[in-house]
Amino acid sequence: MDSSRPSDHFDQESRDSGTVTQPRLGPVGYLRFAWRLLTSMRTALVLLLLLAIAAIPGSLVPQTSSDPNGVVQYKAEYPELSGVLDWFGVFNTYTSVWFSAIYILLFVSLIGCVIPRTKHHFDALRARPPKTPARLARLEGFTTRSTGADAALAIDEAEKLLRSQRYRVQRYDDPSTGVFSVSAERGYLRETGNLVFHTALIGVLLSVGVAGGFGYSGQRVVVEGQAFANSLASYDSFLPQRFFSESELAPFTIQLDEFDAVYEEENFSAYGAPTDFTAHVTTTVRGQEPQQQQIKVNEPLSIGGTSVYLLGNGYAPHVVIRDPEGEVVFSQPVAFLPQDSNLFSLGVIKVPDGLAEQLGIRGLLYPTTFPLANGAFASSHPDLRDPTLTLEVFAGDLGLDNGQATNAYALNTDSLTEIAGRNADSPTIELKPGDIAELPNGLGTIELLDIPRFVSLDVHHDPSQLWVLLFAVLVVAGLVTSLFVARRRVWVKAVVGDDGTVTLEYAGLARGDDPRLQEAVSDLADRHIERLKVDS
């Protein structure tokens, strides 16, 4: 038998028999247990850690929402691995079932933690400071002082001193026993900061989950001298969020007036490396005057509640194709995709109408032409110093009439015949700005008019940014407050002895870690005695 327990204790018989009978919880009991477990602070911290771990795949693997082309390329390079990752939804990490489950559980857990703690905190704010303990000597920082002042007047002075130090005070006097005391407490701002911290975390989750659902991002290639309007039809690619509506597209236009690229010219080891990119644009918001603005790599343009980022740039040769009668059948700049740091670029021109046959042209642009020993070309600098455009021409069926989408930057030659190039009777066409060449088979002529620059712009609208910033500031403020504000209680008691002498007792009690409590109690005692001496 356990001697520390009474003989009639309810579980003594079970202990003696070696068995313990657990109470039956039932469905409601298990639900309560699960709710308490979910809404505990320890569970919230574990879920927060899990959320951070679950976000790691989103930074290691390209995401469909932000880099769809990267996802396609990743699947092409790692077909077996991408099948497994796709099954787990890794390419859509932040909208996957498992990430959303952690996100929602964390949201519920934080709410379940904050609401009861907030109620308890408000109840504590309205409550009076607790009654002075009978034996202050058991508390931390206990010290005594003797005074010749009247006990009640001494406690009056202690009350004034504590109020000046922003304590909440409550008098507890018992003249019949000759004991006068004041109870004081402060530091409720610590718990307030703690609640602000957790509430702001909920605000961050809510902002990202709800307000972020109304955003969108779109990409558009703009050539010098051209403009695009903020409409769905104008984007090359567009990724709306879950709650997006076309009415959220602010009415504005952006025209690329000029693009300036600065390259390193003095440091030979970094010769030709870009040092600065600047897009000079004219922006027009409906109902306002046009404005001249700039977009740089790390300086996005803010317009119509969106941020416009400069993602990339390159060259867009302006090619003019005429039929045998001299009528223009194609005339527009075509963006060529850079292939290296010297902006050697690859592009595709498709002419489906206006000639005797459909034409597909694969072009290579060398901004600063450098001939190689094997007769091929390379580019030795990214600037347009000696540009050359080489063209391989294919005739036949471009596959544009079957209703299937095609890649504007790729040329499928399965149904085409090469009529000018390395594998044709006619050589590859070489053009410099202003040159005109004859197309094979008397199809017409092709001219390189000029070579303007193009930029790739990313238009990003996220209505949650300001809310996330606000809640992030509150998170930091609440955390700092909860870490550096001490929660403490102090008491001052005046005891009248049988001989009429008055002994002052001081003590404190900390809730949590408070390394300066003893110092605070001692300082209170010293200040109190000094004030009593002055008054006397």
Each residue's pLDDT tens digit, 115-149? 888 998 898 888 899 999 989 999 988 999 988 88
Contacts 24+ apart (CB under 8 A), 55-61: 55/93, 55/94, 55/99, 57/85, 57/90, 57/93, 58/90, 58/93, 58/94, 61/85, 61/90, 61/91, 61/93
Model confidence at 19, in pLDDT bands (50, 70, 90)? low
Q: Tokens 């932000």 map to which residue?
A: 66
Q: Looking at residue 509, what DSSP letter applies?
A: E
Is a pLDDT exceeding 80 seen at residue 347?
yes
Q: What is the pLDDT of residue 458?
A: 92
Model confidence at 95, in pLDDT bands (50, 70, 90)? confident
Model confidence at 410, in pLDDT bands (50, 70, 90)? confident
Rounded to an integer, what distance in angstroms lies between the CA atom of residue 368 and that of residue 201?
A: 54
Mean pLDDT for the chain? 88
Rounded to an integer, what distance in angstroms lies between the CA atom of residue 207 and that of residue 210?
A: 5
Is a pLDDT exceeding 70 seen at residue 288?
yes
Mind listing the pLDDT tens digit for each residue in 241-285?
A: 878 888 889 999 999 999 999 998 888 888 889 999 999 999 999
Is a pLDDT exceeding 90 seen at residue 207?
no
Q: What is the pLDDT of residue 472?
A: 93
pTM for the full model?
0.70
Of 114-123, 251-260, 397-406, 475-484, the least confident: 397-406
What is the mean pLDDT of the segment spanning 489-506? 89
Of 140-144, 440-444, 446-450, 532-536, the least confident: 532-536
Which CA distances in Å does 61 have to 51, 82, 94?
17, 10, 12
SS3 content of the chain, % helix, strand, coil (to 5): 35, 35, 30
Query: Cα Rg for the chain, rounded, in angstroms?
Result: 39
What is the mean pLDDT of the segment spanning 183-211? 88
Which CA distances in Å does 51 have to 47, 100, 195, 252, 322?
6, 9, 21, 38, 60
Q: What is the pLDDT of residue 289?
A: 92
What is the mean pLDDT of the segment spanning 516-521? 91
> Other C-beta atoms within 10 Å of 422: how many?
8
Assess contact for 435 and 445: CB atoms under 8 A. Answer: no
What is the mean pLDDT of the segment spanning 484-488? 89
Rounded to an integer, what distance in angstroms lies between the CA atom of residue 100 and that of residue 97?
A: 5
Q: What is the pLDDT of residue 92?
A: 85
Rounded to an integer, what distance in angstroms lies between the CA atom of residue 392 and that of residue 6?
A: 100
Is a pLDDT exceeding 90 seen at residue 366?
yes
Contacts of 157 (CB under 8 A, 6+ apart): 149, 528, 531, 532, 535
Q: What is the pLDDT of residue 16?
A: 54
Percentage of the chain surpassing pLDDT 70?
94
Residue 32, token pair as written in the block: 């309560």
> Other C-beta atoms within 10 Å of 517: how many?
20
Is a pLDDT exceeding 90 seen at residue 497?
no
Which has more pLDDT, 212 or 324? 324
530: left (phi over 0), alpha (psi -120 to 50) or beta: alpha
Residue 385, token pair as written in the block: 């110093």
Q: What is the pLDDT of residue 186?
A: 92
Q: What is the pLDDT of residue 377?
A: 92
Instruction: Report the residue count for the chain.
Output: 536
Contacts of 419 (CB under 8 A, 6+ apart): 393, 394, 395, 425, 426, 440, 441
Rounded to an integer, what distance in angstroms lies between the CA atom of residue 107 and that of residue 266?
A: 56
> Other C-beta atoms within 10 Å of 356: how many?
12
- 170 CB-contact burial (10 Å; exposed 0-12 / middle 13-18 / buried 19+): middle
Q: What is the pLDDT of residue 3?
A: 55
Of 9-18, 362-371, 396-405, 411-420, the least confident: 9-18
Which has more pLDDT, 12 or 44? 44
Percentage of the chain surpassing pLDDT 90?
48
What is the mean pLDDT of the segment spanning 399-416? 78
Q: What is the pLDDT of residue 113?
A: 85
Q: What is the pLDDT of residue 20?
A: 60
Model confidence at 475, in pLDDT bands (50, 70, 90)? very high
What is the mean pLDDT of the segment spanning 490-502? 87
Rounded to an integer, what distance in angstroms lies between the CA atom of residue 504 and that of residue 206?
A: 53
Q: Tokens 């410099």 map to which residue?
A: 432
Is a pLDDT exceeding 60 seen at residue 6?
no
Three-class secondary structure of residue 487 per DSSP: coil
Rounded to an integer, what distance in angstroms lies between the CA atom of residue 366 and that of residue 432?
A: 10
> Other C-beta atoms within 10 Å of 12: how many?
14
Is a pLDDT exceeding 80 seen at residue 102?
yes
Rounded to an integer, what distance in angstroms lies between the CA atom of residue 56 and that of residue 52?
A: 7
Q: Which helix or strand (DSSP H or E) is residue 24 part of?
A: none
Model confidence at 237, in pLDDT bands (50, 70, 90)? confident
